[in-house]
Amino acid sequence: MSNLLEIKNIVKKYGDYTALNDVSINIPKGSVYGLLGPNGAGKTSLIRIINQITMPDSGSILLDGETLASKHTADIGYLPEERGLYKSMKVGEQALYLAQLKGLSKSEAKKRLKYWFEKFDISAWWGKKIEELSKGMAQKVQFIVTVMHNPKLLIFDEPFSGFDPINAQLIAQEILKLRDEGATIIFSIHRMESVEEMCDEIALIDKSNKILDGNLNDIKREFRTNTYQVGLTTSNKKEVELALQENFSVLPPDFKLLGDELTVNVKLDKTKSANDLLSFLTTRGQVQHFVELIPSANDIFIEAVNKNS
């Protein structure tokens, strides 16, 4: 898979403060890419550089193999974290204006807007001013103006903040649909559940440095600890637990089951496989629950950030 965006050795300083320190990221074509990091890590700085709102002090960016230039603004759709619309401007006029700024002709913009307004069932809002709409309604309009010029690259900075759950769901679906139609998506998010749900690839930025990047599943594999959740129905819980402790390293359970089972987490070292554990268990009782503990994005995030500091 080729890369739509290649970010190479980006450095950005604000006076004495370094916002991005030699950051390189490759974003594969057609992926949903999660840009993660604590507040103030440098995510927004990087996104602004991709959008050519600010220029890097050094480093380069290639979009679809070409050095990023001002003509590429038409290929990018950007929903900033700090977002809004002209309050006293009418919805339709405003959307047309923003579409034309993205390089669409007026007639083409009208056609596309009609499609999106009908899709979201908001055609009746065309002549209304933004200040007359509710916040959720305005967010829908905002989403439309972000995507209506069919950009190759869509960047969403905290897209779900401010959306109610129903609209957030709707927007998430639309974003995935756009990905299926060929767009590449960059998310910058805090909400880790969305990362699990949507992202194929992630990069973790902390304190101006990229500390981790790659395919989410690969990363999860890398961060797996070979720990299993075990739930066992047995008449002699104490004895079994002691036997487990002799043969394996046993941790307190991080889950609950419905019955009166023995619950533990078991961490396997390199000499033992899951099968060894399972056969040990089956001889001692009825296995109710046996699940490998896969690190969540949240766990990885916290672990990586802690390691970095």
Partner 1 sequence: MSKLKLIIEREFIAKVRNKSFIVMTFLSPLIMVGMGALVYFLMKKNDEKIKTIVYVDESKLFSKDDFKDTKTIHYKDFTTDGIVATKKKVEEGNYYGALYIPKKDSLEILANSIEFYSKDSPGLSVMNSIENKIERKLRNEKLNNFGIDLEKINASRIQSDIKMFNFSGEESSKLINGLKIGVGAIAGYFLMMFVMIYGTSVMRSVIEEKTSRIIEVIVSSVKPFQLMLGKIIGNASAGLLQFIVWGILISVLGLVLTTILGVDMSEIQTANMTPEQLEATKQAASGDKMQLILQEIARLPLLKLFILFIFYFLGGYMLYSSLFAAVGAAVDNETDTQQFMLPIMLPLILGVYVGFATVISDPHGPISVAFSYIPLTSPIVMLMRVPFGVSWGELAISMSLLVITFVFMVWLAAKIYRVGILMYGKKPTYKDLYKWMKYKG
> Which residues are at the interface with partner 1 (CB under 8 A)?
13-15, 48, 51-57, 70, 73, 76, 78-80, 82-89, 97-98, 100-102, 142, 145-146
H or E element, residue 209: strand 209-215
CB of 63 closer than 8 Å to CB of 153: yes
The C-alpha atoms of residue 258 and residue 75 are separated, in whole angstroms, by 53
For residue 59, give the H/E element and its range: strand 58-63
Q: Which is nearer to partner 1, 185 or 232 (CB)?
A: 185
Look at residues 189, 19, 20 and name the one whose alpha carbon lies nearest to residue 7.
20
**Shortest distance, CB of residue 54 to partner 1, whole angstroms?**
5
Say whether 191 sits in a helix, a strand or coil: coil
> In the complex, what is the shortest distance from the CB of residue 32 to partner 1, in angstroms, rounded to a whole number?
20
* Start-to-end CA span in the chain (Å): 34
Q: Please report, for residues 26, 85, 86, 106, 110, the alpha-carbon distance to residue 97 in angstroms, rounded to integers and kept in the order given.
A: 33, 11, 11, 9, 10
Residue 143 CB, shortest distance to partner 1, in Å, is 12
User: Which amino acid does the sequence have at 13?
Assistant: K
DSSP-assigned letters across all residues of 238-285 = HHHHHHHHHHSEEE--SS--SSS-EEEEEE--TT--HHHHHHHHHTTS
Nearer residue to partner 1 within complex by CB, 96 or 300:
96
Let me know: does 62 contact 5? Beta carbons within 8 Å. Answer: yes
Q: Which is nearer to partner 1, 54 or 286 (CB)?
A: 54
**Closer residue to partner 1 in complex, CB, 20/304:** 20
* Residue 142 CB, nearest approach to partner 1 (Å): 8
Pick between residue 48 and residue 210 the one whose CB is nearest to partner 1: 48
Cβ distance to partner 1 smaller for residue 74 or 287: 74
Task: Give the nearest distance from C-beta 215 to partner 1 in angstroms.
Answer: 28
Angstrom distance (rounded) from CA 169 to CA 306: 31
Closer to partner 1 by CB, 53 or 294: give it: 53
Min dist. Cβ of residue 74 to partner 1 (A):
8
Shortest spacing between CB 11 and partner 1, in angstroms: 10
CA distance 255 to 264: 9
